[in-house]
């Protein structure tokens, strides 16, 4: 490459060639600046890969250690940049970052150091891509925010200027890339169209072995890593020594390597002193007869110590830490379905099995409504994994079990952000004794594929912990820390869809959304649940038909009903336990429940069946007890506290009632705690609590528990909020009540006031959106805000927090001419889409995380933020707009000068022929507007009446001094401001 680089150094920079004198950072760079530095580097690489028109097919080069202006070489001291000391490790990190932010992923990059005239240069070579590469998430540099979907190119006023491509340029580049992909040149350069092979390493395995056997240390000159993909020679050799001349040697053979060639290379280089005593580690193959692979290696290397990597880790590093797995053996299981693109009714468990057998795909999400079967699917999947590989370590973590531990041990300053946090909480909550993973051994066991992890109901953590849970860092850690060696990591997450929709707005992961059961699946479920009893089955289907969650008309004209699995399970329970009739569902009275609501019907049915057993508790009293359970932030009630809760409901009971409650079909009792049998009921009864609160309009009910639930669950555009709003109507009474609720929050200490107020606003906006008489509009939303917050003509205390995502009804407001005081806008993505003008002013207000949504262009009117506002978190937006404004002003100044100078002659403005003006000012876009404003007017010369001419209006004479001497011109500056 040295000759190639010497040749490149003689060329000028271009869209495919860039020189830099130094690297972006060194070891002294502050940690808080590293994000922007990485962003700058990624921006340069991505724009270089795209290049510009007529550059497709050329290799791209980014060369560090050369100044184009000075034509001088500068030695790059890699020892001052810790990330560049190991280029192999750096490349792995770089590819992971590129994979997370580019679509399609930019992964074909070569990195080399080249010595020229005793100077070390660092060279990044990018073979010409065959696709146009765009950003799949926002990219931030020190000076710019680049939006998702942006296509970066290197062509502007300077040939190497990085900017965003125009739509026309994007289309032209796509055509060029497509032609190159089909060209003979590309076929010659890529004869086999090689697929990128994943870089794997056993470095973490060896490091953990050294940690556990502290007498050993790594010998000098080791490890030796060979990556000759072309010759299929891919291996690693580690030599460990102890203080007593002991020796332990490890050899890793990559599954893509030629075993014979690899062994020959190791022998030629004399890397292993004693092959027969060495430990040979290999990847577990995806074949049935896996022992044959080990036996072949044993014969070839002459060593009896051949292990699959996960097998070695299990046997020698963390076997004692793996918890025993007992199969769930679900008594009833129906294969759930999902849709993908144009394909419908696909098997969910088959998709999970495909994911499990794939490589370098560490994380998968199963989402869907509460009670749709996410947990059931996860358990059935784990049972299938256990059947295929009985030695597999399986860790099932139920969020409900650990939420208390997480809440106690983490804070906003010390957030939950790692799988290890969940593991430790599980071990502490269950008080499991014996050996435990530390963070490093847990990472290795997961990365090696020795441990499969399911985090069930992560929405519990999202909802309950709020800002104590850093979801993005949690996911990033799985990719960067748990999947950085052997790419065998498998972490499955289940989450209710309305929670994941919010989390997933910036995080793209493989996901399936479970569907409700079809009629055939419902029938299959009841056949298993009711053991084929035809009479019970027919009765169950009749009840289920009345509770079908939605109904559409199929092309055949038949009703196509869908069924929620947990409702089917409850129907099955009722029918198995007693002789019930579907007619029992119809008539009931309750202050909490509504007969027309399907779930309310079933809950009433279940509670009514329990009246005989519970004797002293009516349906509504049972409901009140369940609301109290749901209200408790411990996600349940201690068995020793249940008596106190019952005393608040009824005085007529004895201790036997408590034992009967433990057998209620909606709840279960474990470890002296009463929980809901189905997690969906925890959310359901929280919804009933809020419905009853807004229905009764009792300000005395405002307490910390209610405030916590309102703040945590009432979110804009969520199915939970809509389910509560569905039972209520928006009227003046409820608005007046909410004004009182907002006033009451000021008297409550230790709560997040801003979050609570925002949740109340979100709830009212949801009511407004569903109302028939007052459809949500800019005016109706603004009217609502004024009713809530207007004081003496000003809006005081408006709080809009965590309102984001893609909504059909954008929650925007009309702030034109309004004065807003003491307001909070935090993660309110629609802020810049609200109507504002020069008369809008904000005082003593807080703004945080209000970056505009992708594709939204916005303006910041002058003077809208007073000096009393906290603008720290949005300074980058203000600076960016100021730079844009200054750039626009300069462009407008330039155009106006062209216009006036055309008329300027001999110290004055003279008429010009209209034809001449149009020709010479053909590129000036402002000319028509200047004529509309009568700055430029038609002129008729008395001596040449037939000649069509233009002239500058006399009121702009001061511009002459501006042209001649650069003197300020009020008229000229007013024009610049008008056109900016």
Residue 889 DSSP SS3: helix
**Quick one: average pLDDT of 760-773?**
84
Residue with the larger pLDDT of the pair 643 and 980:
643
Residue with the larger pLDDT of the pair 799 and 561:
799
pLDDT for position 287: 67
**Chain-wide mean pLDDT for the chain?**
83
Comparing CA positions, the residue from 915, 925, 832, 825 lying closest to residue 870 is: 825
Measured at the CA of 232, the angle between CA 227 and CA 235, to 5 degrees, comes to: 45
Comparing CA positions, the residue from 488, 561, 22, 422 lying closest to residue 255 is: 488
DSSP state of 563: B
Q: Which residues pair with 830 in a beta bridge?
A: none
Place of tokens 């490091």: 207
Token output for 747: 């008297």
pLDDT for position 341: 66
- Strands (DSSP E) contained in 152-221 are 152-154, 162-164, 217-218
**Helices 732-745 and 778-789, axial angle in degrees (round to 10):** 50
Q: Residue 193: is its pLDDT beyond 50?
A: no
Residue with the larger pLDDT of the pair 458 and 889:
458
Q: How confident is the model at residue 808 (pLDDT cuts 50, 70, 90)?
A: low
Place of tokens 């107020």: 757
pLDDT for position 792: 92
pLDDT for position 549: 57
Q: Residue 506: is its pLDDT beyond 60?
A: no
Token output for 678: 């189905």
pLDDT for position 578: 58
Beta pairing class for 936-941 and 841-843: unpaired
Q: Residue 831: is its pLDDT beyond 50?
A: yes
Q: Residue 694: is its pLDDT beyond 50?
A: yes
Residue 599 DSSP SS3: helix
Backbone angle region of 93, left / alpha / beta, with phi > 0 → left and psi within -120 to 50 → alpha: alpha
Q: Residue 701: is its pLDDT beyond 80?
A: yes
Distance CA 566, CA 678 (A): 8
Q: How confident is the model at residue 69 (pLDDT cuts 50, 70, 90)?
A: confident
Is the preceding peptide bond at 267 cis, omega within 30 degrees of 0?
A: no
Half-sphere exposure (Cβ direction) of 138: Cα atoms closer than 13 Å: 14
Q: Residue 967: is its pLDDT beyond 70?
A: yes
Kindly report the pTM of this predicted structure: 0.48
pLDDT tens digits for 421-452?
Answer: 888 888 887 777 778 888 888 888 888 788 89
Q: How confident is the model at residue 582 (pLDDT cuts 50, 70, 90)?
A: very low
**Quick one: average pLDDT of 783-807?**
90
Beta pairing class for 841-843 and 904-905: unpaired
pLDDT for position 501: 56
pLDDT for position 555: 44
Q: How confident is the model at residue 316 (pLDDT cuts 50, 70, 90)?
A: confident
pLDDT for position 279: 93
Comparing CA positions, the residue from 836, 799, 794, 796 lying closest to residue 819 is: 794
Place of tokens 């009933």: 688
Contact between residue 496 and residue 370 where contact means Cβ atoms under 8 Å apart: yes
Q: How confident is the model at residue 678 (pLDDT cuts 50, 70, 90)?
A: low
End-to-end CA gap in the chain:
51
Percent of the chain with pLDDT over 70: 89
Q: Residue 653: is its pLDDT beyond 90?
A: no
pLDDT for position 486: 65
Residue 816 DSSP SS3: coil
pLDDT for position 771: 66
Of 73-82, 122-131, 496-505, 840-849, where does mean pLDDT reach its minimum? 496-505
Residue with the larger pLDDT of the pair 503 and 736:
736
DSSP state of 954: G
Q: What is the 3-state secondary structure (H, E, C) of 839-859?
A: CCEEECCEEECCCCCCCCCCC
**Quick one: average pLDDT of 15-43?**
91
Residue 205 DSSP SS3: helix
Q: How confident is the model at residue 644 (pLDDT cuts 50, 70, 90)?
A: confident
**From the centroid of its chain, how far is CA 313?**
32
């Amino acid at each position: 490459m040295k000759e190639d680089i010497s040749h490149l150094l003689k060329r000028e920079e271009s869209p495919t060639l860039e020189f830099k004198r130094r690297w972006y950072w060194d070891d002294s760079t502050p940690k808080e600046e590293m994000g922007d530095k990485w962003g700058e580097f990624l921006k340069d690489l991505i724009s270089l890969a795209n290049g510009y028109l007529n550059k497709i097919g050329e290799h791209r080069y980014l060369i560090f250690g050369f100044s184009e202006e000075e034509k001088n070489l500068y030695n790059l001291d890699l020892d001052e940049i810790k990330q560049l000391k190991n280029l192999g490790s750096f490349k792995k990190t770089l590819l992971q970052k590129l994979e997370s932010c580019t679509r399609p992923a930019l992964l074909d990059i070569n990195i080399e150091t080249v010595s020229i005239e005793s100077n070390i240069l660092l060279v990044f070579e990018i073979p010409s891509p065959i696709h146009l590469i765009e950003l799949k998430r926002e990219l931030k540099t020190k000076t710019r925010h680049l939006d998702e979907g942006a296509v970066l190119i290197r062509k502007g006023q300077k040939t190497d200027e990085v900017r965003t491509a125009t739509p026309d340029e994007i289309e032209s580049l796509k055509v060029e890339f497509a032609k190159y992909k089909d060209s003979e040149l590309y076929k010659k350069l890529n004869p086999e169209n090689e697929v990128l092979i994943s870089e794997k390493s056993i470095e973490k395995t060896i490091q953990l072995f050294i940690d556990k056997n502290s007498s050993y240390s790594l010998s000098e000159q080791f490890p030796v890593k060979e990556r000759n993909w072309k010759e299929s020679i891919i291996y690693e050799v580690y030599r460990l020594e102890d203080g007593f001349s002991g020796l332990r040697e490890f050899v890793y053979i990559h599954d893509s390597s030629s075993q014979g060639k690899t062994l020959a290379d190791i022998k030629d280089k004399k890397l292993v002193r004693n092959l027969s005593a060495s430990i040979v580690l290999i990847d577990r193959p995806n074949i049935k007869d896996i022992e044959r692979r080990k036996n072949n290696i044993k014969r070839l290397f002459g060593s009896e110590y051949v292990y699959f990597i996960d097998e070695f880790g299990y046997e020698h590093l963390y076997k004692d830490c793996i918890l025993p797995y007992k199969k769930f053996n679900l008594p009833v299981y129906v294969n759930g379905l999902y849709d993908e693109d144009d394909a419908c009714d696909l098997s969910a468990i088959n998709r999970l099995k495909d994911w499990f057998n794939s490589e370098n795909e560490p994380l998968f999400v199963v989402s869907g409504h509460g009670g749709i079967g996410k947990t059931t699917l996860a358990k059935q999947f784990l049972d299938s994994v256990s059947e295929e590989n009985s030695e597999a370590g399986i860790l099932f973590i139920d969020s409900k079990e650990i939420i208390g531990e997480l809440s106690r041990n983490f804070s906003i300053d010390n957030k939950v952000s790692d799988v290890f946090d969940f593991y430790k909480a599980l071990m502490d909550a269950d008080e499991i004794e014996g050996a435990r993973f530390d963070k490093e051994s847990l990472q290795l066991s997961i990365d090696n594929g020795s441990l499969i992890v399911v985090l069930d109901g992560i929405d519990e953590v999202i909802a309950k912990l709020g800002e104590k849970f850093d979801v993005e860092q949690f996911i990033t850690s799985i990719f960067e820390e748990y999947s950085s060696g052997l790419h065998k990591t498998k972490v499955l997450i289940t989450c209710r869809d309305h929670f994941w929709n919010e989390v997933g707005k910036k995080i793209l992961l493989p996901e399936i959304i479970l569907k409700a059961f079809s009629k055939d699946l419902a029938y299959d479920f009841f056949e298993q649940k009711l053991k084929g009893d035809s009479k019970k089955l027919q009765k169950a289907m009749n009840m289920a038909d009345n509770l079908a969650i939605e109904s559409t008309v199929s092309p055949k004209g038949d009703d196509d009903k869908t069924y929620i699995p947990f409702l089917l399970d409850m129907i099955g329970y009722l029918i198995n336990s007693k002789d019930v009739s579907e007619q029992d569902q119809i008539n009931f009275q309750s202050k909490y429940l509504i007969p027309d609501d399907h779930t309310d019907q079933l809950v009433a049915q279940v509670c009514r069946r329990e009246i005989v057993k519970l004797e002293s508790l009516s349906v509504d009293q049972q409901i009140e007890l369940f609301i109290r359970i749901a209200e408790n932030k411990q996600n349940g009630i201690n068995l020793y506290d249940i008596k106190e809760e019952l005393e608040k409901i009824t005085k007529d009971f004895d201790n036997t009632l408590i034992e009967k409650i433990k057998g209620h079909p909606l709840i279960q009792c474990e470890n002296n705690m009463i929980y809901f049998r189905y997690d969906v009921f925890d959310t359901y009864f929280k919804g009933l609590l809020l419905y009853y609160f807004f229905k009764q309009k009792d300000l005395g009910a405002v307490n910390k528990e209610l405030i916590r639930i309102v703040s945590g669950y009432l979110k804009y555009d969520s199915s939970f909020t809509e389910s509560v709003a569905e039972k209520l109507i928006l009227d003046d009474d409820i608005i007046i009540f909410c004004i009182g609720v907002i006033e009451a929050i000021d008297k409550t200490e230790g709560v997040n006031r801003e979050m609570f107020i925002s949740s109340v606003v979100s709830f009212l906006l949801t009511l407004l959106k569903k109302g028939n008489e007052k459809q949500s509009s800019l005016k109706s939303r603004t009217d609502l805000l004024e009713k809530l917050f207007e004081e003496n003509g000003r809006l005081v205390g408006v709080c809009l927090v965590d309102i984001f995502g893609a909504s059909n009804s954008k929650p925007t407001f009309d702030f034109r001419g309004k004065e807003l005081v003491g307001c909070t806008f935090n993660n309110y993505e629609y802020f810049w889409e609200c109507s504002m003008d020069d008369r809008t002013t904000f005082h003593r207000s807080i703004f945080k995380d209000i970056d505009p949504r992708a594709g939204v262009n916005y303006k910041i009117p002058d003077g809208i933020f007073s000096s009393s506002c906290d603008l720290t978190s949005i300074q980058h937006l203000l600076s960016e707009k100021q730079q844009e404004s200054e750039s626009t002003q300069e462009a407008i100044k330039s155009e106006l000068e062209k216009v006036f100078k055309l008329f300027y002659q001999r110290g004055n403005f003279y008429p010009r022929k209209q034809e001449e003006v149009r020709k010479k000012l053909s590129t000036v876009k402002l000319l028509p507007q200047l004529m509309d404003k009568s700055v430029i007017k038609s002129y008729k010369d008395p001596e040449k009446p037939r000649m069509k001419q233009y002239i500058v209006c006399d009121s702009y004479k001061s511009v002459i001094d501006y042209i001649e001497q650069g003197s300020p011109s009020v008229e000229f500056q007013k024009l610049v401001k008008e056109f900016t």
